[in-house]
Structure 1
Amino acid sequence: MSAAYLNQYFEHQVNAASPEQLLIMLYNGAIRFIGEAEEFMVKGKIAERGMKISRVIDILSELSATLDHEVGGEIAANLDRLYDYRIRELMKANLHDDLEKLGMIKKMLTGLRDTWLDAIDKVHAEMAAEASEGIAKKSEAAPVGYRPLAVAL
């Protein structure tokens, strides 16, 4: 596949994604870039490592900028501080060639991503249950003699 085709495909994926999917995509990207930065650190490829760490910093900055402090309250404030702290830690890890620090940041981001995945799954399950409940209530209130249309005969 050509790079142009891959970029077009990725752009479509981003444009078609829900906010939850975008959040997970950002976390996955940050985790992947930290892994790549770790590899470059081991190989002594300073410029490449710096580029990957910069990508992680960009992602954390974006996650921080999109926090809704009115809705999120204390949780949003805590995440904002956490992202800021991790950005500073990434800079230190890059400056001091600290592989262990990169690993700790990757572990933290993986934990946050997994927590978001659990929360998203829970919300989707609750929405599905509410939708099923709503359908059941509608069918209970159906007029006498009402027969739903049989789609597959």
Structure 2
Amino acid sequence: MSARNPYATYQNNAVNTAAPGELTLMLYNGCLKFIKQAKSAMEEKQIEEKNTAIQKAQNIISELMVTLNMDIPVSNQMMQLYEYINRRLIEANIKNDAAILDEVEGFVVEFRDTWKEAVLLNRKLQHDGRERA
């Protein structure tokens, strides 16, 4: 498969070599991709494609929930937000409501952007630490 599809090979290597923080960033980006696909499918009245895209977004939210470190105090709030997003995704799917997807997309964009800043800050701190050593 990988010999016939170099993009799939690249994606697989990117995931296998990414740092944990970057993997979370990939999950957020994937969730956003599927939300956008669901909105597009809704507009085009493609019910099956909408359903599949929303389920993929839900799977990513579930993965984010499973990987939360519950020893960190903020994780309880994140869990509640992820549960809310998951419920809203279900509701958007049932009601065929793009406005709900817009709301969820806003949350995921905010999480992704915040996480991206944290990854960049962590990378900078690690780099500065190496320069001093």
With normalisation by structure 2, the TM-score equals: 0.92
Q: Answer yes or no: is the 8 Å Cα contact 2:37–2:50 preserved in 1.
A: yes
Residues 101-147 of structure 1, C-alpha deviations (whole Å, 9 max, x = no match):
1011111101100000111111111222222222xxxxxxxxxxxxx
What is the CA–CA distance in structure 2 between the aligned matches of 1:18 and 1:126, rounded to whole Å? 15
1:46-98 CA deviation, whole Å, 9 max, x = no partner? Answer: 1100000000000000000001112x2x2111111111111010000111111
Residue 27 of structure 1 corresponds to 28
Q: How does 1:60-139 map to 2 (within 5 A)?
A: 60-70=61-71, 72=72, 74-134=73-133
Aligned partners of 1:125 and 1:8: how far apart in 2? 29
Alpha-carbon separation, structure 2, partners of 1:29 and 1:46:
20
Tell me the matched-pair count: 131
CA distance in 1 between counterparts of 2:13 and 2:123 reads 23
After superposition, give the CA deviation of every residue in 1:8-60 in whole Å (9 maximum; x if it has no partner).
Answer: 33222211111111111110000011001000011111110000000000000
What RMSD over aligned residues (CA atoms) do the two structures have, in Å? 1.6
Q: Quick check: 2:22–2:119 contact (8 Å CA) kept in 1? A: no
Q: Please identify runs of 4+ aligned residues in structure 1 that moved more than 6 A.
A: none
Looking at structure 2, the residues matched to 48 and 4 of structure 1 have their Cα atoms a distance apart, in angstroms, of 26
Larger relative contact order (CA 8 Å, sep ≥ 6)? 2
Counterpart of 1:48 in structure 2 is 49
Task: Flag structure 2 segments of 5+ consecutive residues without an equivalent.
Answer: none
